[in-house]
């Protein structure tokens, strides 16, 4: 992978109910937040299954929708990022 690729950032287009993703967030930070969200979702779904906890299940569903919005926005940001290459054409 070439070292001179333009760093990709979030597009700030995807929305989730009352929340909107901010444009220009570096992917490194966005992936970090996505990892935290997915960890919470995993914990809540396990809790919902083991304890038959409907509230934990609902929280997991809401957080999974937020994680999906983040992934979608990162994809849009990746597609809009200008790609530079060192490979001669």
Share of the chain above pLDDT 90, in %: 62
In a domain, 58, yes or no: yes
In a domain, 88, yes or no: no
Burial of residue 77 (number of CB atoms within 10 Å: 0-12, 13-18, 19+): buried
In a domain, 5, yes or no: no
**Domains held by the chain: number:** 1
Rounded mean pLDDT of the chain?
A: 85
Range of the domain at 33: 29-79
In a domain, 59, yes or no: yes
In a domain, 24, yes or no: no
Burial of residue 73 (number of CB atoms within 10 Å: 0-12, 13-18, 19+): buried
In a domain, 47, yes or no: yes
Q: Which residue has better confidence, 40 or 16? A: 40
Q: Which residue has better confidence, 3 or 73? A: 73
Three-state secondary-structure class, residue 24: coil
Contact between residue 74 and residue 27 where contact means Cβ atoms under 8 Å apart: yes
Q: Which residue has better confidence, 18 or 42? A: 42
Q: φ and ψ at 9, to 5 degrees? A: -135, 170
What's residue 15's pLDDT?
Answer: 78
What's residue 20's pLDDT?
Answer: 79
Averaged pLDDT for residues 36-48: 97
């Amino acid at each position: 992978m070439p070292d001179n690729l333009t760093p990709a950032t979030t597009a700030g287009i995807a929305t989730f109910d009352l929340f909107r993703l901010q444009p220009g967030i570096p992917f490194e930070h966005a992936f970090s937040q996505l990892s935290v969200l997915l960890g919470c979702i995993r914990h809540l779904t396990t809790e919902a299954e083991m304890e038959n906890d409907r509230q934990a299940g609902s929280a997991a569903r809401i957080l999974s929708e937020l994680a999906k919005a983040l992934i979608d926005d990162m994809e849009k940001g990746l597609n809009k990022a200008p790609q530079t290459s060192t490979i001669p054409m």
